[in-house]
Amino acid sequence: MQRVKPQKSGVMPAASTSTAASSPGQPGLWQSMLDEIRDPAFRYGVKFGLAGVLAIFIALFLRLQNPTWALFTVFVLMIAQYVGAIGEKSFFRVVGTAVGGVIGYVLTASLEQQPFVFLVCVSSVVGFCTAMFGQSRYPYAFFLCGLTTVVVASNGLGNPDNSWTFMLWRVEEVVVGVIATLLVQSIFWPRYARLEFTANTRAAFADLRDCLIASGNVFLKGEKNSAIQQAEEFPARISGLRGLLDFGARESQFFRRRLSTYFEITICLSHIASAIVTIGEELPKASAYRDALGDAIEKLHRELERALDNLSQVHSTPSTRAAHRQAVNEAFEEVETKFFNLRSDSRYYQISSDEAMTLGTHVLALDDIRKEIHRAHDLLDSLPEDPTEVSKKMDDFVSPIPPPFWIRTGIKSAIAVAIALYLDDWLQPPGSSMFILGAWVFTSMNAASPGGQGDRRTFHYLAYNTMALILIAMILLLISPMLSSYAVMNIILFTWLFVWGYLSFKIRGVTIPMQMGMLLAVGILGLNGQEPVPFQAVAGLFFGIAFAQALASIIQRVLWPSLPQWELRARFVQYLRLCQRIVKEGPQALALWERARLALIPGEASVRIGVLTPPICPEGEQGFLLDYLHSLQRVGNQLFVTIGRLASSLPAEHAARGREFAARMEALLAEHLAAHEISMEKTTPLQIDDKPLAQLIEEVRTWVGEVRDWMRKNNHPVLESARILGLAGRYERASEDLLLAGERARRLRMPLYMGDYVL
């Protein structure tokens, strides 16, 4: 059997035949071309171009009034790259378009003569839809509802009684775009989330095996730890797997019926990664544990690594899993036996409590990994070949209520649309339809733009895009006669969409340049090159987009600007609040979407730290921020796998004292986390005395020594003893990491740049 290696989605196995015969002079030329064609980004670009061209062809064949909206539909749908996701987006796009069309028609036909009421109603609908687009289980239904309301309302201003025709045209054009996208995505190199979930899950088990190997080398050989960072980043990867689960459930009824089992497997992956994160200390060279337990622990590592490797295999079977499970259990029993035999060795009583907690933490982590591997085996073995039972309903991955960020974005979008409608009716600027649409697109979608810049460079983009628009307008004036040729129009359209798709393949979200490219493609097609294109039409396209971005830029920077330093602070505050909830209520109190946020926040914060370069912040501040982030991330990981487990593991003779120490420790941890939250929220120096927590750490160490002596004298079960020492060690590490985070927080100079409005 060969291990499955993670591959890029959509990449086919390389051809095994030699290319030398085809090209004797350049043996690698054809292979390079084949590799390029197999590149998923290349294929995505091709599919993007084909879908756009097909949508326009169908729209023109049916003589629809405005084929540009079919193209706009292709843009929105193709962002979701899986067949199942596109299927659902298509359904909700049609639903959202129909609902938005009805709302736009009713508001325009009945309220157009009452401007104030009309503007308030339209902007309220748009604002609500924008907020729900950012945080909803059905974002595209809300997105299209808001978009169609804007289009119908803006086009029906001059003739409100006839605005129903715009509603009907929009639905027809959206359906055409949906059909074209579904055909292309289903026929040409389709991507299925359920297949990628299986492959990526195997790859995740393989990567965890590599992390475990690296952590074992730290503990036994003192090598540099290369696994912690990779394991710390694993929660974000688990969130990606759960996204594939969500998409896969829409592709296959068979997969949907297994959904709860697959979801539990992702939990096993997450728990294994969390256990590996807690392994980070070397066992002292002269420790008596090395002679007595070193070989047994090394063997246990090997068996756990082999079991994880087996789970990464395509042909892992119940029989092979059972064999690995037995080998792991036997290795663990050997560790327990040797640990017990060590009690008769005089050196055992000379081992320090620090050494004992280091070993206990390591053994506890290995035991947690063993249990999760067994759990994964049970889950895989329970999968029936033809399941008929319906899986339990999964919790939502997002908050049921939009967070403040998206509520503010909804308000800004509502104001942008209201101002655009007012200016259009008052001044009637050139390119009015593109002006109103663009004002909403630039204001609403910039919130989801990746890169961490937020609104900071919005005026930079305004200047860059205006210059680009001037150049494009000049080119359009020169080539507009050529657009009357279907062949030329399709070549230009396909090339534009191919480049857009190729460059955006790996980007999550829509950047400002991508927004500009999307509006330009739709606008250029709307010029209708089958007829002579007047100068006024090209100028209208230019001014409409330019005015739209100018209006959006002003609103974005005046009302609640999304600056990277502010977004970073908001994520620190949210992470600290989640950690406080873990301490006070336990990790199980967090909803699924909150656990997802706990995993995703560190990655989002690091992206925003990456753009905080001088002169935005002082020299060296990036490093301080990253150090602080990593300290908090370790605290969160330790707390998630520790809180609530120590008291229940203690023997009855020490349970009361243990609960007291745990309560005191958790109270101080919560106090420190709250102080960090206040410091971040108010951008003030951290105000907390470290001495009580440091003193309590020493008290706990003394108490752990007493408990350890009692367990040795009373022959307490070895494995339970290791668990107790390991959990105590995790409490200690979480506390020490929080103290370290405090030291790093005091080095930050956030007041110098937190109020910066630099353009």
Q: Residues 593-600: what's their mean pLDDT?
A: 79
Residue 6's pLDDT band (cuts 50, 70, 90): very low
Cα-based distances in Å from 219 to 250, 264, 304, 335: 44, 30, 15, 15
Secondary structure in 3-state letters for 27-38: CCHHHHHHHHHH
Does 623 reside within a domain? yes
Does 392 reside within a domain? no
Q: What is the pLDDT of residue 744?
A: 95
- Quick one: 207 and 130 in the same domain? no
CA 755, chain centre distance (Å): 28
Q: What is the pLDDT of residue 492?
A: 82
- Quick one: 266 and 370 in the same domain? yes
- Quick one: 475 and 528 in the same domain? yes
Write the pLDDT tens digit of every residue in 707-716. 888 887 888 8
Write the pLDDT tens digit of every residue in 495-522. 888 888 888 777 666 777 777 877 777 7
For the ranges 181-190, 284-293, 744-753, the lowest mean pLDDT is seen at 284-293
CA 290, chain centre distance (Å): 42
- Quick one: 199 and 279 in the same domain? yes
Question: What is the rounded distance in angstroms from the CA atom of residue 755 to the CA atom of residue 461?
Answer: 22
Specify burial of residue 41 (Cβ count, 10 A radius: 0-12, 13-18, 19+).
middle
Q: Crossing angle, helix 718-745 and helix 353-381, to 10 degrees?
A: 110
Q: Among 558, 573, 603, which residue terminates a domain?
A: 558
Q: Furthest-apart CA pair in the chain: how many Å? A: 98
pLDDT above 70: residue 389: no
Q: What is the pLDDT of residue 391?
A: 47
Averaging pLDDT over each range in 56-70, 146-160, 230-244, 496-510, which range is the top one? 56-70
- Quick one: 676 and 736 in the same domain? yes
- Quick one: 152 and 222 in the same domain? no
Does 610 reside within a domain? yes
Q: Residues 294-308: what's their mean pLDDT?
A: 90
Length of the chain: 759
Residue 8's pLDDT band (cuts 50, 70, 90): very low
Q: Crossing angle, helix 458-479 and helix 512-526, to 10 degrees?
A: 30
Residue 693's pLDDT band (cuts 50, 70, 90): very high
- Quick one: 214 and 175 in the same domain? no
Q: Residues 415-425: what's their mean pLDDT?
A: 89
Q: Among 538, 558, 578, which residue terminates a domain?
A: 558
Q: What is the pLDDT of residue 22?
A: 42
pLDDT above 60: residue 21: no
Does 22 reside within a domain? no
Long-range contacts of 680-687 (CB under 8 A, 24+ apart): 680/569, 680/572, 680/573, 680/576, 680/750, 681/569, 681/573, 683/569, 683/750, 683/751, 683/754, 683/755, 684/751, 685/746, 686/742, 686/745, 686/746
Q: What is the pLDDT of residue 667?
A: 94
Of the chain, the percentage scoring pLDDT greater than 70 comes to 84
In the block, tokens 């952590």 appear at 215
Secondary structure in 3-state letters for 268-323: HHHHHHHHHHCCCCCCCCCCHHHHHHHHHHHHHHHHHHHHHHHHCECCCCHHHHHH
Question: What is the rounded distance in angstroms from the CA atom of residue 729 to the CA atom of residue 722?
Answer: 10
Question: What is the rounded distance in angstroms from the CA atom of residue 447 to the CA atom of residue 146?
Answer: 16
Count CB neighbours of 585 within 10 A: 12
Question: What is the rounded distance in angstroms from the CA atom of residue 532 to the CA atom of residue 544?
Answer: 20
- Quick one: 314 and 417 in the same domain? no
Does 347 reside within a domain? yes
| Dihedral pair phi/psi, residue 3, rounded to 5° | -70, 140
Which comes out higher in pLDDT, residue 527 or 104? 104
Q: Residues 411-426: what's their mean pLDDT?
A: 90
What sign does the CA torsion over 298, 299, 300, 305 have? positive
pLDDT above 90: residue 577: yes
Count CB neighbours of 542 within 10 A: 22
Question: What is the rounded distance in angstroms from the CA atom of residue 120 to the CA atom of residue 419?
Answer: 11
Domain CATH number, residue 730: 1.20.58
- Quick one: 277 and 306 in the same domain? yes
CA 467, chain centre distance (Å): 34
Q: What is the mean pLDDT of the chain?
A: 81
Write the pLDDT tens digit of every residue in 130-172. 888 876 667 778 888 888 888 888 776 766 666 677 778 888 8
Which comes out higher in pLDDT, residue 624 or 164? 624
Q: What is the pLDDT of residue 4?
A: 38
pLDDT above 50: residue 25: no
Write the pLDDT tens digit of every residue in 633-679. 889 988 988 898 888 888 888 888 888 988 999 999 999 999 999 99
Residue 263's pLDDT band (cuts 50, 70, 90): confident
What are the tokens at 687?
Answer: 């105000």
Averaging pLDDT over each range in 100-114, 507-521, 678-692, which range is the top one? 678-692
- Quick one: 602 and 734 in the same domain? yes
Q: What is the pLDDT of residue 555?
A: 92
Question: What is the rounded distance in angstroms from the CA atom of residue 651 to the CA atom of residue 714?
Answer: 11
- Quick one: 355 and 425 in the same domain? no
Does 629 reside within a domain? yes
For the ranges 21-35, 252-266, 410-424, the lowest mean pLDDT is seen at 21-35
Cis amide linkage into residue 615, ω under 30° from 0? yes
pLDDT above 80: residue 420: yes
pLDDT above 50: residue 216: yes
Averaging pLDDT over each range in 10-19, 242-251, 740-749, which range is the top one? 740-749
pLDDT above 90: residue 477: no
For the ranges 60-69, 360-369, 546-555, the lowest mean pLDDT is seen at 60-69
Residue 338's pLDDT band (cuts 50, 70, 90): confident
Q: Residues 124-131: what's their mean pLDDT?
A: 91
DSSP assignment, residue 578?
Answer: H
Q: Among 351, 381, 411, which residue terminates a domain?
A: 381
Does 678 reside within a domain? yes
Q: Residues 275-279: what's their mean pLDDT?
A: 80
Among candidates 742, 748, 504, 511, which has minimal Cα distance to 612?
A: 748
For the ranges 36-45, 183-192, 407-416, the lowest mean pLDDT is seen at 36-45
Q: What is the pLDDT of residue 236?
A: 67
Q: Residues 238-256: what's their mean pLDDT?
A: 74
As for how many domains the chain has, the answer is 3
Does 582 reside within a domain? yes
Which comes out higher in pLDDT, residue 391 or 636? 636
Residue 282's pLDDT band (cuts 50, 70, 90): confident
Question: What is the rounded distance in angstroms from the CA atom of residue 230 to the CA atom of residue 237?
Answer: 10
- Quick one: 553 and 417 in the same domain? yes
Which comes out higher in pLDDT, residue 555 or 14? 555
Residue 298 domain boundaries: 193-250+259-381
Question: What is the rounded distance in angstroms from the CA atom of residue 44 to the CA atom of residue 440?
Answer: 27
